[in-house]
Amino acid sequence: MTDLVLALLVGAMLIAGGVFTFLAALGVVRLPDVYTRMHAASKAGTVGSGLMLLAAGIHALDAAVFTRALAGFVFFVLTAPVAAHLVAKAAHAAGYRPARLTVIDEMRDAQERDAKKR
């Protein structure tokens, strides 16, 4: 009975992780600018890969493997937001502008305020 529950849990986590990863890839292909693409890749990609990594750790039925999978998941969760923020700052500094549908560009507003102070 325990094997069935674990198999169902692992299967559900793999399917959910695959769906999130697919949505991240779809967002990278379909979204209009670098900022929204980066957001889709970092958020949905982190959740998708994290779920699949945890599913692999549970499936192994080994504490050492699960601990490493959990450490990898924590690493994803801690580094993805920082990397996404740095990519967005670098893209803005390089001159990539948001899509026309974007209403607020807070980074541009902050740069204009800093330029006025100088």
Summarize pLDDT for 59-91 with one digit per residue, the tens. 999 999 999 999 999 999 999 989 999 998 899
Q: Alpha-carbon distance 114 to 87, whole Å?
A: 21
Closest Cα to residue 22, out of 43, 52, 48? 48
Q: Go through the chain and tell me how many residues it has.
A: 118
Q: How many domains does the chain have?
A: 1
Say which residues have a Cβ less than 8 Å from residue 109's Cβ, sequence separation at least 6. Answer: none
Arithmetic mean of pLDDT over the chain: 90
pTM recorded for the entire structure: 0.81
pLDDT at 113 exceeding the cut of 80: no
Summarize pLDDT for 34-55 with one digit per residue, the tens. 999 998 999 999 999 999 999 9
Angle at 87 between CA 48 and CA 85, to 5 degrees: 75
Domain that holds residue 31: 2-117
End-to-end, the C-alpha distance of the chain in Å comes to: 70
CA atoms within 13 A on the CB side of 49: 16
Q: What is the pLDDT of residue 63?
A: 95
pLDDT at 111 exceeding the cut of 90: no
35: Cα separation from own chain's centroid: 13
